[in-house]
Amino acid sequence: MRTQVAIIGAGPSGLLLGQLLHKAGIDNIILERQSGDYVLSRIRAGILEQVTVDLMREAGVAQRLDREGIVHHSIELVFAGQRHPIDVHGLTGGKVVTAYGQTELTRDLMDARAAAGLTTVYDAGEVTLHDFDGSTPTVSYRKDGQTHTLACDFIAGCDGFHGVSRASVKDRVTEYEKVYPFGWLGVLADVPPVSPHAIVYGNSERGFSLCSMRSMTRSRYYVQCPLDDKVESWSDTRFWDELRSRLDPELAERIVTGPSIEKSIAPLRSFVAEPMRFGRLFLAGDAAHIVPPTGAKGLNLAATDVKYLSGAFIEYFRDRSAAGIDTYSQRSLRRIWKAERFSWWLTTLMHRFPDSEGFGQKVQEAELDYLVNSRALSTSLAENYVGLPL
């Protein structure tokens, strides 16, 4: 088998890359370790920057997103029992974010790929990358008891944090990492969102909380929890009581509760691997970087990597220019580090740190007070929230 771009991983990065390349007439095959159903069962954040919405449109897969995405003009911060709106739209000269679940975005991309008749090999085992330092890379994998080899011009490593692509170059990458001393307990429930027009971020003495949504009838809520907590010790009742206790009285009163349809605990991590190119192998998305979920930058960063990488491949095949592939890593990392900084900053601002002394706590309170009363700092928050310019 032969293709122009072998894509490892059918998460949002791999699927979006495949679709953009296909639109430009570049053939590609995706190798995915899991089944399609498994990929669709993963629940992740769901706030899209304009750049991500635009890319979905460019890929021709935004019909449902345009219909069902919920446009947000503002966010709200809750602390010391009070709610403070941040007018993201006004502070950024008219920019917005759109609430649309990553699962739905992945489903739209999968459907479009199937409709275009493009090859995705699910349940591909033992995916192994070969010869990407030379001009004729290949990828081998096991499927149905047989070993197959895929020859290609380029390999796109879109296989997430635990994938084989970064592992294939582990002695050539520099890794930067920060692990946070708490997790997020997330609940999905078929109840109307408490705040349909603004995502709410709360900092209370009991810890962080977040009110988000997937639609006007499906809500996504989170509370900060200790890393060693077990989901089983969180009944629905305990979760709703805890969430209410972290919000201001008016929101707490208004919240509609119901049975959870998903409940999980996730750790928080900041991580960057540099560089993102090794000969004819390119890393994109979670394969190269992780952000803590505060601010929902993970999917948006993956989308920007894919924008740069698809552009670079198109330049290479259409214009015979290597300029894009030569600058891919440097260009992506510039944007990635800014999103890393923002996600770290918002996480630090909004969570209670178990090891924080009195001084750290007081500085955090002062910063929150400064933020909601300073147009300069609110603008900084807003422009990062909607996504910095490309």
Q: Which residues are catalytic?
A: 72, 201, 293, 297, 385
Q: Is 380 exposed, middle or buried (0-12, 13-18, 19+ CB in 10 A)?
A: middle
**Residue 165 or 212 with smaller CB distance to ligand PHB:** 212
Interface mask toward ligand PHB for 28-57; x: CB under 6 A: -----------------xxx----------
Q: Decide: is 384 part of the binding site for ligand PHB (CB under 6 A).
A: no
Q: Decide: is 294 part of the binding site for ligand PHB (CB under 6 A).
A: yes
Please report, as residue ranges, which positions from 315 to 354 form the binding site for ligand APR (by CB under 6 A): none
**Residue 83 or 297 with smaller CB distance to ligand APR:** 297
Please state, in angstroms and rounded to a whole number, the distance separating the CA atoms of residues 340 and 70. 25
Q: Decide: is 223 part of the binding site for ligand APR (CB under 6 A).
A: no
Least CB distance to ligand APR at residue 302 (A) = 4
Burial code (b: 16+ CB inside 10 Å, e: under 16) for 131-167 equals ebeeeebbbebeeeeeeeebebbbbbbbbbeebbbbe
Q: Binding ligand PHB by CB under 6 A: which of 295, 309, 339, 349?
A: 295
Please state, in angstroms and rounded to a whole number, the distance separating the CA atoms of residues 390 and 251. 36
Q: Decide: is 299 part of the binding site for ligand APR (CB under 6 A).
A: yes
Q: Decide: is 102 part of the binding site for ligand APR (CB under 6 A).
A: yes
Q: Decide: is 351 part of the binding site for ligand PHB (CB under 6 A).
A: no
**Residue 83 or 220 with smaller CB distance to ligand PHB:** 220
Please state, in angstroms and rounded to a whole number, the distance separating the CA atoms of residues 120 and 19. 12
Least CB distance to ligand PHB at residue 371 (A) = 16
Per-residue HEC secondary structure of 324-343 comes to HHHHHHHHHHHHHHHHHHHH
CA–centroid distance for 70 within its chain: 17
Could you tell me the sign of the dihedral formed by the alpha carbons of 42, 271, 133, 316, in that order?
Answer: positive
Please report, as residue ranges, which positions from 93 to 132 form the binding site for ligand PHB (by CB under 6 A): none
Q: Decide: is 158 part of the binding site for ligand APR (CB under 6 A).
A: yes
Q: Which letter does DSSP use for residue 26 in this model?
A: -
23, β-bridge pairs: none
Tokens of 241: 């009581």
Asked if 45 and 106 touch (Cβ cutoff 8 Å), the reply is no
Please report, as residue ranges, which positions from 269 to 288 form the binding site for ligand APR (by CB under 6 A): 285-287
**Residue 158 or 273 with smaller CB distance to ligand APR:** 158
299 binds, among ligand PHB, ligand APR, none (CB under 5 to 8 A by kind): ligand APR
Least CB distance to ligand APR at residue 64 (A) = 18
Could you tell me the sign of the dihedral formed by the alpha carbons of 268, 270, 276, 278, in that order?
Answer: negative
159 binds, among ligand PHB, ligand APR, none (CB under 5 to 8 A by kind): ligand APR
**Residue 137 or 186 with smaller CB distance to ligand PHB:** 186
